[in-house]
Structure 1
Amino acid sequence: MTDSPPDTTLVHSKGSHHMDLRGYLKVLQRRWISILVITLATVAVAAGVTFALTPQYTASTRLFFGVQGATTGSDLAQGSTFAENQLTSYAQVATSPLVLQPVISKLGLQTTPDGLAQQVSAYAPTDTVIIQVTVNDTNPQRAADIANAVGEQLASVASDLSPRRQDGSQAVKATILSPAQLPTGQSSPNILRNIAAGLILGLLLGIAVAIVRRLLDTGVRNETDLEQVTDVPVLGVVPFDSDADAHPVVIRDDPLSVRSEALRRVRTNLQFVEAAEHSRSVVVTSSIPGEGKTTAALNLALSLADAGLSVALVDADLRRPSLARFAGIEGSVGLTTVLIGEANLDDVLQPYGDTSLRVLPAGQVPPNPSELLGSGAMAELLERLTAQFDMVVLDSPPLLPVTDGAILGRLAGTTLLVAGADRLHRTQLRAALESLSTAGVHVSGIVLNKVAAHNFGPYEYGYTYSQRGAQTGASVPARRAEARAASDADKEVEHARG
């Protein structure tokens, strides 16, 4: 049993979830479908609103305010200064009842001065004596008629409002420079502009939603997410396979698959760890159920056996044992039977095919699994197994629901934590690591399991390379036969060397 103090370096946290430019680009690449959907939906809304609006037509006329009848320089200066200073006032007069009521009466409009004022605007450009009157209306001819009528009436009213000279003549006269013409097209809504604005807005909204979803995502999808929680090394990244439940022993069922190569990488890295730590037993556990710890333990044990080691695989999940079912062996007697003294170890260890792997199923589910796993009998059994085999792999229950995994971790030499990328959250992983740290359990590494292809990161090249290799093969059975032949050849070479 390990009596070392708790390893407080297992868990750490960072203040924020940092992503570099490449990370953002990968997020956009992964979520391009949702971005496209949001963009198209926004464009559709913009187009719908645009076509639902009533078309508006715009007509404009311009008036020039000039000085007339000036006989001296002082009269001309006085009239020009007055016209410039009062131009803004004239523009406001254009939308007053003084101008609009006569227009309504002349054209027979069914509105009020206040209502018509919503359609009329007058603007005086800076440093000019010109006023531009603009009218918007749903009818193009009516827009032109109103603009011309307002211009004529404003010219008349402006002349009346201008100061008179000593001889009674008007100092300022308004002249229409350009009468309003019939609009040839609608001024609003601008269909192309609105759809373009909807496209830009939708694209920005889609990108924002994608990034926010990623920043708020607490799942453990890749190694970057693991780095937010712990410094424990990642011993392997295993891709997601929808066919994994039908073929759990992928090392045997499809030895050239991507998952098989990934699991062999875990085996190799674990052997380096074992050599450095001189450990001959490893507990394979997870934070929560469904992360693939049992299939990982089975395939890891089988790959170790393929490497020439004698391996014992123990189903220490005494609550929901499934190793016997996955391995296709009898599971009615096993670990519990040995622990209570009703069977000998050698009698219940079952060979797995023609390999050097021996499997010890869980046996009957006991009422006190934690007590059995923490008993002296379990410690003695593990010592016996480590003396008899090169490596002992124990499949343990998940850490968060029960304490069995931590108990087994203290008995074994090291612990391997399986993290399911399809369901695990960082808070759950952090809690699991904290439970192991509190129990003084050493964690050699983490296996990131069920990783989506787009989250493969540095393993992306190997993933593609393995896929191409698998596609060039004739068939799965042929590839299995080829792999077994290669394995037999390796064994012959080792025998000859020996």
Structure 2
Amino acid sequence: MSIETQNNVYIEDEIDLKQLFESLSERKLTIIFVFFITLAFGIAFAYFAQPIYKTSTTIQVKTNDKQLQTDMLQAAIQGMPNTEIDTELGILQSYTLIKEVLNNVVFDIRYFKKENFKTLEVFVDEAPFKVLYSYPENSEFIGRMFSIKPLDTDTFELSTLDSWKDITGLTQNPTYNAKHKYNEKIINEHFSITISKKRDFIDEEYFFSFNDKRSLIENMIKPNLFANIFMKNGSIVEISYEDNLPQRAQIFTNALANAYIQQNININTEEATKKLDFIEKQIVEIKSNLEKSAINVEQFKQKYDLMDIATQTQASMQKLIVYDQELAQIEIEEEQAKRVLELLETGDFSSLSIAPLQISDLLINSLMQALSEAERERRSLLVEFTERHPEVMKVTQNIAKIKNEILSNIKSLYQGIKNRRESIEKIIEKNEAYFKKLPEKEREYIDLMRKFQVNENMYAYLLEKQYEASIIKASKVSNSRIIDPALLPLKPLKPKISLIIAVSAVLGLILGIMIALIRNALDNTIKNYEDITNESKIPVIGSIPFIKGYKDTYHVIHNDPKSVYAESFRAIRTNLQFMATYSSHKTIMISSTIPAEGKTTTSSNLGAILAMSDKKTIILNLDLRLPTLHKVFNLPNDSGMSNFLSGHTQPEEIIQNTEITNLDIISSGPVPPNPSELIMSERMEEIIEFLKQSYDYIILDTPPLGLVTDATILANLADITLLVVKSNYAKKGFVTNFEKTAKAHNIKNTGIILNALLRKKAYSGYGGYGGYGYGYEEKPKRSWFKHLLKI
């Protein structure tokens, strides 16, 4: 690329950038309006938004060490999730655990205060009153907002704020409005409330609502509760909670952590507790039997004055007591096995892990461990997959298989215990044959002693087991611990006011610029030279600046001949000299596409500037439908072009002198019923030829081209045809249509005058005859965008 080409590209880019900022400068009011509206919305949002506080606690979760190591290894090598930790994260966010927390803390009553046009929730300790309440589960006032309005120091008005109506217009939610005293119990079918006052709040506006636990969990707690792994591939988790109230956030987070720890302890001690409860029940029963048997032995000895029995008999009895004790233990085992079997047959396999007495069968213990691991694996998989996932289905089938094997082995174990019992019973029956030879009273005594000894031994045995179970239960502690408790948050997490205002400001500026650019893109009005030259090859012979503050633009040339406005007409006058014509008497037709583009103003001022150059000039008002030229010069319109064209007057009779030397006019005259026909008459050509004898310039002020055919007819009588185009008003298509009309009717020497052009627009480009302007124009002021960016 050559240096010249590069310079051209640079200049074009610079011009395009300047045009961009000029177009934005035009829409600066739009940009400013959108900017401040968006900023106002941002400030309002930040002001009315409920503050959100966040606090967190960290917990060390100790799970199955072996499995945890395996999961961590998989997570590190394969990028798989730490499923053991994920399971605990799910528990921390579970409905059951949160509900347990809400049973220990009171969150279902909420207090609100309206102040400075916004309603904010306040902590229960900050409310000037306290609400004690109860309500049925189906109460229609759950979640409803109550307003409490103090009437004096002892009474208040209680009312509901909200209600809704169905399509019939009937109110469906019940409303409440009544006056009550403090500490008075308010009872009805929907609720029972007692409101006690802590301090006076007559000039303050407070509300409260009571909510059920389910709605609190689903709508307030779960959406704002988060549990995450605190350290990658570690066993520390972080619980964070967001709430409108910092105190409630801290209380709930710590309560949740403590409830999780306590749940862990309860699970770990559940097995020992079940066993201990079973043993204690057996102890109560055996103790009662022992006391009864001791009384029976003592009463029997006293009644029959028996002291001791023979040594051989004593030895036989002790041997039989051993068998009796063994039988008693077997019966306990049989009862336990029967109970477990009944539970398993109903599908309750949780009884295996909390069986009251240990099941010593190695195979069953192995199967129980396999079942526990399979169920843990299934829970871990369900964190990521559904129950129909192939891996989940495979594990589920394996669980069912293990359960069938456990059930089969428990049945075999139960049958084995029954066989042992039957064997011991036969041994006891065989040994009892010896005692049948003894006297009746001695046999009765021996039976009583056997029962007493068996009860005594079983009682001692169960006390020992109770002690062992108590030690086991006491040794059970939580697998987890709280590392850092939740602290009271001092600053809200949201809204970030400075960020919201900054984003609103940037967004407002961007939206304002976008809307300005869109408006510019959709705006098809002519704004500068380029808009005309891009649409047509007809030259622009000059531009007329927009003058702010002038009420009488018709006489600017006459009243202020040294103004920029006057200089623009001098430039047009000069450029007219270059338009090809061999006639010394030039006829100039001035028209527009639609009304209000300034053709009459242009005609009058152009006539004045030509007259000031010592050229005799006359302006003909040929807009017979809407005459205005006579008003410009404060002249009558009793007789004019319509009178002449209709054959009622002569040219000399309708020419009127103006206060400007060398400038005359012919007004339109009374509005005729057939203006187009009059324009087309031969008398039109006659008056033009007549005026050429006396005037250097004849200006024809015609109707708009786009509305009637009059101007098109007159164009053939003119040496020069000029179209007045008003900036920011005329459409770009007007210029195109003018060019097509000129070609279609063979109109020569056409030109365009750009009217009401903002002065800075004149420097956006140049074309035709009027590119450089003429006169004493000042340097245009730089736009505020250019000042800002130093362009």
Counterpart for residue 234 of structure 2: 128
Question: Helix, strand or coil: the match of 1:118?
Answer: helix
Return the alpha-carbon distance in structure 2 between the equivalents of residues 108 and 450 of structure 1. Answer: 74
Question: Helix, strand or coil: the match of 2:493?
Answer: coil
Q: Deviations over 1:361-417 (max 9, x none)?
A: 333433322122222221233234335433221111111221110000012122100
Return the alpha-carbon distance in structure 2 between the equivalents of residues 158 and 176 of structure 1. Answer: 12
Which of 559, 583, 586 is residue 253 of structure 1 equivalent to?
Answer: 559
- Mapped contact 2:62–2:235 kept (Cα < 8 A): yes
Is 1:175 the counterpart of 2:484? The answer is no
| Cα 1:128/1:227, change in 2 over 3 Å | farther
Is 1:24 the counterpart of 2:130? The answer is no
Return the alpha-carbon distance in structure 2 between the equivalents of residues 181 and 404 of structure 1. Answer: 88
Give the AA of the match of 1:114: E
Counterpart for residue 704 of structure 2: 398
Give the AA of the match of 2:523: D
Counterpart for residue 93 of structure 1: 91
Shift of 1:233: 1.6
- Mapped contact 2:55–2:240 kept (Cα < 8 A): yes
Return the alpha-carbon distance in structure 1 between the equivalents of residues 67 and 620 of structure 2. Answer: 113
Question: Helix, strand or coil: the match of 1:141?
Answer: helix
Q: Deviations over 1:11-55 (max 9, x none)?
A: xxxxxxxx9332221122222232222222212212222222222
Counterpart for residue 218 of structure 2: 114
> Unaligned 5+ residue runs, structure 2?
1-14, 75-80, 109-212, 269-368, 374-471, 767-771, 781-791
Give the AA of the match of 1:31: R
Return the alpha-carbon distance in structure 1 between the equivalents of residues 69 and 655 of structure 2. Answer: 117
Bigger drift between 131-140 and 433-442 goes to: 433-442
Shift of 1:468: 8.6
- Mapped contact 1:84–1:129 kept (Cα < 8 A): no
Is 1:380 the counterpart of 2:376? The answer is no
Counterpart for residue 255 of structure 2: 149
Give the AA of the match of 1:393: I
Bigger drift between 270-279 and 132-141 goes to: 270-279
Counterpart for residue 35 of structure 1: 31
Shift of 1:99: 2.3
Counterpart for residue 265 of structure 1: 571
Counterpart for residue 362 of structure 1: 668
Shift of 1:76: 8.3
Question: Helix, strand or coil: the match of 1:281?
Answer: strand
| Cα 1:262/1:436, change in 2 over 3 Å | same
Counterpart for residue 498 of structure 2: 192
- Mapped contact 1:62–1:178 kept (Cα < 8 A): yes
Give the AA of the match of 1:400: G
Return the alpha-carbon distance in structure 2 between the equivalents of residues 354 and 146 of structure 1. Answer: 92
TM-score, normalised with respect to structure 1: 0.78
Counterpart for residue 343 of structure 2: none
Is 1:290 the counterpart of 2:596? The answer is yes
| Cα 1:78/1:155, change in 2 over 3 Å | farther
> Unaligned 5+ residue runs, structure 1?
1-18, 470-498
Which of 753, 768, 778 is residue 447 of structure 1 equivalent to?
Answer: 753
Return the alpha-carbon distance in structure 2 between the equivalents of residues 76 and 42 of structure 1. Answer: 53
- Mapped contact 2:71–2:83 kept (Cα < 8 A): no
1:226-375 aligned at under 5 Å gives the runs 226-241=532-547, 245-274=551-580, 280-353=586-659, 355-375=661-681
Shift of 1:245: 5.0
- Mapped contact 2:726–2:756 kept (Cα < 8 A): yes
Return the alpha-carbon distance in structure 2 between the equivalents of residues 196 and 203 of structure 1. Answer: 11
- Mapped contact 1:65–1:175 kept (Cα < 8 A): yes
- Mapped contact 2:567–2:776 kept (Cα < 8 A): no
> How many residues are paired up?
445
- Mapped contact 1:57–1:185 kept (Cα < 8 A): yes
Return the alpha-carbon distance in structure 2 between the equivalents of residues 393 and 181 of structure 1. Answer: 89
Question: Helix, strand or coil: the match of 1:34?
Answer: helix
Counterpart for residue 54 of structure 1: 50
Counterpart for residue 483 of structure 1: none
| Cα 1:78/1:371, change in 2 over 3 Å | closer
- Mapped contact 2:593–2:704 kept (Cα < 8 A): yes
| Cα 1:398/1:64, change in 2 over 3 Å | same
Shift of 1:217: 1.7
Counterpart for residue 209 of structure 1: 515
Return the alpha-carbon distance in structure 2 between the equivalents of residues 246 and 118 of structure 1. Answer: 69
Bigger drift between 132-141 and 225-234 goes to: 225-234
Give the AA of the match of 2:92: A
| Cα 1:355/1:154, change in 2 over 3 Å | same
| Cα 1:388/1:59, change in 2 over 3 Å | same
Counterpart for residue 418 of structure 1: 724
> Which structure: larger Rg?
2
Counterpart for residue 166 of structure 2: none
Return the alpha-carbon distance in structure 1 between the equivalents of residues 728 and 664 of structure 2. Answer: 31
TM-score, normalised with respect to structure 2: 0.51
Return the alpha-carbon distance in structure 2 between the equivalents of residues 128 and 62 of structure 1. Answer: 12
| Cα 1:178/1:362, change in 2 over 3 Å | same
Q: Deviations over 1:242-298 (max 9, x none)?
A: 555535122111112222111111111122114589882110011112211112112
Question: Helix, strand or coil: the match of 1:411?
Answer: coil
| Cα 1:170/1:33, change in 2 over 3 Å | farther
| Cα 1:154/1:453, change in 2 over 3 Å | farther
Percent identity between matched residues is: 28
Counterpart for residue 44 of structure 1: 40
Give the AA of the match of 2:246: P
| Cα 1:440/1:155, change in 2 over 3 Å | farther
Give the AA of the match of 1:174: S
Question: Helix, strand or coil: the match of 1:358?
Answer: strand
Give the AA of the match of 2:251: D
Q: Deviations over 1:193-252 (max 9, x none)?
A: 222222122111111111111211232233333345322221122122355553512211
Return the alpha-carbon distance in structure 2 between the equivalents of residues 276 and 244 of structure 1. Answer: 38
| Cα 1:87/1:436, change in 2 over 3 Å | same
Return the alpha-carbon distance in structure 2 between the equivalents of residues 77 and 343 of structure 1. Answer: 117
Question: Helix, strand or coil: the match of 1:107?
Answer: coil
Return the alpha-carbon distance in structure 2 between the equivalents of residues 334 and 107 of structure 1. Answer: 98
- Mapped contact 2:529–2:764 kept (Cα < 8 A): no
Shift of 1:444: 1.9
Shift of 1:330: 4.4
Shift of 1:319: 2.1
Q: Deviations over 1:158-185 (max 9, x none)?
A: 6859x999x9999994332221111111
- Mapped contact 1:417–1:443 kept (Cα < 8 A): no
Bigger drift between 106-115 and 42-51 goes to: 106-115
Give the AA of the match of 1:34: T
Return the alpha-carbon distance in structure 2 between the equivalents of residues 175 and 135 of structure 1. Answer: 19
Give the AA of the match of 2:223: Q
Question: Helix, strand or coil: the match of 2:32?
Answer: helix
Return the alpha-carbon distance in structure 2 between the equivalents of residues 298 and 336 of structure 1. Answer: 20
Return the alpha-carbon distance in structure 2 between the equivalents of residues 76 and 468 of structure 1. Answer: 81
| Cα 1:415/1:279, change in 2 over 3 Å | farther
**TM-align CA RMSD:** 3.6
| Cα 1:170/1:204, change in 2 over 3 Å | farther
Shift of 1:438: 2.9
- Mapped contact 1:288–1:400 kept (Cα < 8 A): yes
Return the alpha-carbon distance in structure 2 between the equivalents of residues 85 and 23 of structure 1. Answer: 62
